[in-house]
Amino acid sequence: MSIASTQNNELPDVQSAADGRSVAIDRVGVSSVRHPARIVDADGTAQTVAATFTMTVSLPPEVKGTHMSRFLQVLDEYQNDLGPQGLRRFAVELTKRLNSESAQVVMSFPWFVDKPAPVTGEIGMLEYSVTMKIDMSTDGTATQSLKVAVPATSLCPCSKEISEYGAHNQRCELTAEVETREPMGIGALGNRLEASASCEVYPVLKRPDEKHVTEVAFENPKFVEDIIRDIALEMDGDRNITKYRVTSENFESIHSHNAWAEISRSK
pLDDT at 32: 97
The predicted model scores a pTM of: 0.90
Alpha helices in 27-129 (DSSP H): 68-78, 84-97
CB atoms within 10 A of CB 170: 17
Query: What pLDDT, on a 0 to 100 scale, did the predictor assign at position 240?
Result: 95
Longest dimension (CA), the chain: 86
What is the residue extent of each domain of the chain?
25-266
- Cα R_g (the chain), whole angstroms: 23
DSSP collapsed to 3 states, 163-181: CCCCCCEEEEEEEEEEEEC
Angle value at C-alpha 173, between 167 and 179, nearest 5 degrees: 140
The upper half-sphere exposure of residue 91, i.e. CA atoms within 13 Å in the direction of its Cβ, equals: 31
Q: Which of 41, 37, 69 has the alpha carbon at shortest distance from 52?
A: 37
Cα–Cα distance, 201 to 170 (Å, whole number): 11
pLDDT at 115: 97
Using CA atoms, how far apart are residues 147 and 70, in angstroms rounded to an integer? 27
pLDDT score of 3: 54
- pLDDT for residue 132: 97
The predicted structure's pLDDT at residue 13: 74
Residue type, position 101, single letter: E
State the Cα–Cα distance between residues 223 and 72, nearest whole angstrom. 45
C-alpha torsion angle, residues 45, 47, 51, 55 (rounded to 10) = 40
92-144 pLDDT, tens digit each: 999 999 999 999 999 999 999 999 999 999 999 999 999 999 999 878 789 99
pLDDT at 9: 66
Query: 25-266: what fold?
Result: Urate Oxidase (3.10.270)
Strand, helix or coil for residue 63: strand
The list of the chain residues with pLDDT below 50 reads 1
Instruction: Residue 262: name the closest of 248, 241, 242, 244 by CA.
Output: 248
Q: Is 129 helix (H, G, I), strand (E, B) or coil?
A: strand
Burial of 65 (0-12, 13-18, 19+ CB in 10 A): middle
Q: Which residues neighbour 160 within 8 Å (Cβ) at sequence distance 6 or greater?
A: 166, 167, 218, 221
* Residues in Cβ contact with 17 at an 8 Å cutoff, skipping those fewer than 6 apart: 64
